[in-house]
Amino acid sequence: MSALANLLQPYSAEEFFQHNWTKKAVAIASKGQKNFSHLFSWEKLTDLLNFHQLKYPNLRLALEGKVLNESDNDNLIQLCQEGATLIVDQVHKLIPEIAAFTSEIRYELGYNTQINAYGSWPGKQGFSSHYDTHEVFILQIEGRKQWYVFTDTIKYPLPDQKSTAFSPPETEPYLSCILNPGDVLYIPRGHWHYAIALDQPSLHLTLGVHSKTG
């Protein structure tokens, strides 16, 4: 089975590309058929923090809707205890299993890929509603996280058209879902979204696919 087909199962790749790719978000429950523990875990996150010299902005914090300053990394443990989301960028360059996975996805889709890791805490929102300028797959590793996805306000935004320059939609989310370990959420570029961890710490990977616009 291809890496992409395994990522999407039990949803078929054919249905995904017909109904969702670049068009509409979809939450895919694993139904016990898969998990991502071979890619990442709290233990691997701890190893990254202990044995790699991670620097801002590849290691940063977000709290109450904004990314914190570089100086706040000096109080990493305290701020995480206070509920700040911990972000580690480009873990595909640091962990062999993730490197192999992103390489397979890049080969199958034909676009550049990257993976960031996010650790967040119950009841705390790291980022306010925003959109990404690339396609996004959320891979839930541990914990449970509530996601809200809204329609786009600018179609297929270019890399320099950041969501900070625009206002989010005032409509209700068209998708509200809870991700459990092994679940996947796909969010097209330009679609506004935010998330809140539920009753326990949440760990997820974000696979970004930089598809071309033309």
**Residues whose CB is less than 8 angstroms from the CB of residue 214 and which lie 6 or more positions away in sequence, other chains included:** none
One-letter amino acid identity for 10?
P
pLDDT digits (tens, 9 = 90+) for 163-205: 988 999 999 999 999 999 999 999 999 999 999 999 899 999 9
By the 8 A CB rule, do 116 and 85 touch? Answer: no
Does the pTM exceed 0.85?
yes
Q: Shortest CA distance to 24 belongs to which of 162, 161, 190?
A: 190
Q: State pLDDT tens for residues 37-55.
A: 999 999 999 999 999 999 9
Confidence at residue 66, expressed as pLDDT on a 0 to 100 scale: 84
What is the residue type of 151? T
For residue 83, is it left (φ>0), alpha (ψ between -120 and 50) or beta? left
With a CB cutoff of 8 Å and minimum separation 6, the contacts of 99 are 92, 93
